[in-house]
Amino acid sequence: MVESLVESFETGNILEPTESETPTTPVSQLMLEEVEVVPLKLPERVQATSFEYSGLAWFGDFLVLLPQYPEGKYSSGGGNLFAISKEDILRAIEDPEFELPVRDVPIFNSNLRNVVKGFEGFESILFVEQDVYLTVESHGGNPMMGYLIKGVVKGELESVTLDPNSLIELEPLSSAENATFEAITYWDGNLYVIYEHNAKQSDAQPHAYQFDLDLQFEKEIAFPILDYRITDATISDLNGKFWVMNYFFPGDTHLAVEQDPLISQYGQGETHASNIPVERLVQLQIKDDQILRVDQAPIYLKLLGFNIARNWEGVVMLDELGFLLITDSFPNSQLGFCSISS
């Protein structure tokens, strides 16, 4: 359905980072086909908005759902991640009435309230073999502070144990409230941690942080200017290409722009032309010691209408079939699938 929007991971031009992207196509001349998100049925027990899901990741053939507070927002007890097999996900895509079996995965040392000042939970998750990496948000900085933490997976996802001693600070790239590092990807032996806001705020070029797998800081790496928020990233392919969720909530008036360069250049979808929210996937590539935007149109998700925004906080690729996405709690906790094939 949207082959015209999605190029092969082996092809596609790369845009060098610039201070601003010059619009080339008036919005009125190009309307892009949007992709509908098909809801997948979760058990009621894991649909609670209190989980405030903040990330998705693959561990082998299991999709892992990351609650912002695995032990509960106001609890100090044990916590859980949730896992769903790929086989069951494929069945649910074919049968919308099929309720996904969800397995609890105990996570130990996830309550960091006594370690992280102003702890506000986890924002993203990534697995590399038996290791797991998560970003953490807190309001204990000036005003915010991000963190990166490492853990280990027992067996075939029997449990996850975090190592509080591995915790390192991620200095925010602005003084914005409620903004830290919501996305992480992996490529060629390194982790790339991505800040939530990457618009043109000053003369400084946005950047991401590069770490090795032992959480040793390596360098800052240039990042493309993108308006709105980046709420999650897929893992990178062999060529360093990955996708980010690029989202605008109407209440974030400080992130609103008069002219969106990507819309000016490529156009937008029909529901986006008549609604304020923005829900789209943008492809990037790690190349030549920088992260660049691939020169192709974003994938726009078909909006609900009536200016109702879905806060997509997690995204992964499902093989070559499409994307799996999850919202936090707005307007509810929803796992969905969008296809990138006819």
Tell me: pLDDT of 170 over 80: yes
Is residue 258 assigned to a domain?
Answer: yes
pLDDT of res. 203: 61
Residue with tokens 């903040």: 54
pLDDT value for 205: 81
Q: Which segment of 15-24, 59-68, 230-239 scores lowest on mean pLDDT?
A: 15-24
Q: What is the pLDDT of residue 201?
A: 66
Asked if the structure places residue 139 within a domain, the reply is: yes
Read off the pLDDT band of 173 (50, 70, 90). Answer: very high
pLDDT for the residue 206: 94
Q: Is the pLDDT of residue 27 over 50?
A: no
Domain with residue 196: its CATH number is 2.115.10
pLDDT for 200: 78
> Who wins on pLDDT, 109 or 8?
109
Of 229, 233, 263, 262, give the one whose Cα is nearest residue 247. Answer: 229
Instruction: Provide the pLDDT for residue 341.
Output: 61
User: What residues make up the domain containing 174?
Assistant: 14-339
What is the predicted pLDDT for the residue at 270?
95
The average pLDDT across 285-312 equals 96
Indicate the number of domains in the chain. 1
Residue 3 has pLDDT above 80, yes or no: no
Structure tokens at 248: 């605008």
Q: Is residue 5 part of a domain?
A: no
Band of the pLDDT at 329, cuts 50, 70, 90? confident
- Residue 302 included in any domain: yes
Percent of the chain with pLDDT over 70: 89
**Whole-angstrom Cα distance, residue 61 to residue 300?**
27
pLDDT at 13: 64
Q: Give residue-wise pLDDT tens across range 29-65.
A: 589 999 999 999 999 999 988 899 999 999 999 999 9
Report the length, in residues, of the chain: 342
Residue 224 lies in a domain: yes
329 occurs within a structural domain: yes
pLDDT in tens, 85-104: 999 999 999 998 999 999 99
Least confident range of 15-29, 74-88, 267-281: 15-29
DSSP-derived pairing of the beta strands 119-128 and 131-138: antiparallel
Of the two residues 200 and 90, the one the predictor is more confident about is 90
Q: Is residue 4 part of a domain?
A: no
What is the C-alpha separation between 62 and 324, in angstroms, rounded?
12
CA-based torsion, 21, 26, 29, 35: positive or negative: positive
Number of H helices, E strands in the chain: 3, 25
**Residue 340, pLDDT score:** 87
Q: Which residue has the tokens 């509080």?
A: 164
Whether residue 102 lies inside any domain: the answer is: yes
Band of the pLDDT at 301, cuts 50, 70, 90?
Answer: very high
- Mean pLDDT, residues 191-203 taken together: 87
- Structure pTM? 0.91
